[in-house]
């Protein structure tokens, strides 16, 4: 009799759990995210530490216009995610860059950041930041690939909350100009069908402020470069924003991709044909971006 009672209880519990998932209860988001977290290592299968591996990734999907090439030797582990690719620096403990394509269809979706907190990246092979590093530091956990661009997929949303995808960012910048630029990028994706994004930290010298027990490097500025397809061609723009006290307008923060490349030592949008790359990266066609 006890055996049959136990079986009956197990069936009841299983039916209750299934009902919770299907019913759209208040706990739906947390339950769904708990399920997909077990999939993360499978979905994030591409991990490398050299340019040859990046080339292999590009060959698997030839139109990866967002992926940059390093002009200089740099410490990195490249990690492919559902929604973005990043180059993680084991010395600074922040990404060298994060790159992704955002399509018009991906600018909205059912998945929200509700219930999610920053967490360790399970695929990171070296030290990484944690909550204690940021606590009382005066800096926000600033997304590079923003959660607002990952609403289209549950795994993409979850993976945007890895510490490898955030930097110590001035709170006013995080909630101000940087957030404004993120929203503009979604507007451009809707207008043009897609936008290719590369973003990350800027360090002007080796005398870098660090926070926390892991000594996470604080960027002097943040950059974002964007490429959009337009009339069978492309147009590009870049932005550099001071990590603290940034009161300039979006247009005043703008620069050419060539200028940003000279500062970073990166070859951005390197998978474009050379003649196209040279043409569009040397200028800004302000009318394409609607900035005044």
What pTM does this model have?
A: 0.80
Give the tens place of pLDDT for each residue, 142-174: 999 999 999 999 999 999 999 999 999 999 999
pLDDT value, residue 73: 80
- Helices in 118-249 by DSSP H: which ranges? 131-134, 154-159, 171-175, 177-192
Q: What percent of the chain has pLDDT over 70?
A: 78
Q: What is the C-alpha separation between 19 and 264, in angstroms, rounded? A: 52
Give the tens place of pLDDT for each residue, 43-93: 333 333 344 544 454 445 456 899 998 777 888 999 999 999 999 999 999
3-state secondary structure at position 283: coil
The verdict on domain 47-289 having CATH code 3.40.50.720 is no
Mean pLDDT of 106-120: 97
Q: What is the C-alpha separation between 106 and 24, in angstroms, rounded? A: 23
Q: What is the C-alpha separation between 193 and 215, in angstroms, rounded? A: 40
Question: Catalytic amino acids?
Answer: 143
Domain limits of the chain? 1-38, 47-289
CB atoms within 10 A of CB 16: 9
Question: Nearest Cα to 86, choosing from 56, 130, 48, 36?
Answer: 48
Question: Per the structure block, which two tokens stand in for 227?
Answer: 């490429």
- Helices in the chain by DSSP H: which ranges? 2-23, 28-37, 40-43, 51-60, 131-134, 154-159, 171-175, 177-192, 250-253, 257-264, 274-280, 286-289
């Amino acid at each position: 009799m006890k055996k049959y009672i136990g079986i009956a209880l197990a069936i009841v519990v299983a039916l209750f759990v299934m009902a919770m998932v299907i019913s759209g209860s208040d706990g739906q988001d947390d339950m769904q995210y708990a399920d997909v977290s077990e999939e993360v290592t499978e979905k994030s299968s591409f991990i490398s530490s050299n340019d040859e591996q990046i080339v292999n990734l590009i060959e698997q999907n030839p139109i990866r216009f967002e992926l940059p090439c390093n002009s200089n030797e740099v410490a990195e582990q490249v990690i492919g995610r559902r929604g973005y690719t990043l180059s993680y620096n084991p010395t600074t403990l922040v990404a060298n860059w994060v790159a992704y394509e955002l399509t018009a269809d991906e600018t909205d979706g059912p998945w929200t950041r509700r219930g999610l907190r920053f967490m360790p990246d399970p695929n990171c092979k070296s030290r990484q930041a944690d909550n204690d590093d940021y606590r009382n530091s005066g800096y926000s956990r600033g997304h590079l690939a923003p959660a607002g661009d990952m609403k289209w997929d549950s795994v993409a949303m979850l993976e945007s909350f890895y510490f490898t995808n955030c930097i110590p960012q001035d709170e006013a910048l995080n909630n101000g100009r940087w957030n404004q630029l993120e929203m503009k990028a979604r507007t451009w994706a809707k207008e043009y069908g897609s936008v290719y994004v590369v973003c990350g930290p800027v360090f002007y010298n080796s005398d870098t402020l660090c926070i926390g027990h892991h000594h996470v490097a604080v960027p002097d500025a943040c950059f974002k470069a964007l490429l959009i397809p337009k009339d069978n061609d492309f147009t590009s723009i870049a932005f550099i924003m001071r990590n603290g006290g940034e009161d300039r307008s979006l247009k005043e923060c703008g620069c050419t991709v060539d200028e940003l490349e000279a500062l970073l030592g990166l070859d951005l949008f390197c998978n474009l044909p050379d003649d196209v790359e040279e043409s569009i990266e040397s200028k800004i066609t302000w009318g394409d971006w609607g900035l005044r």
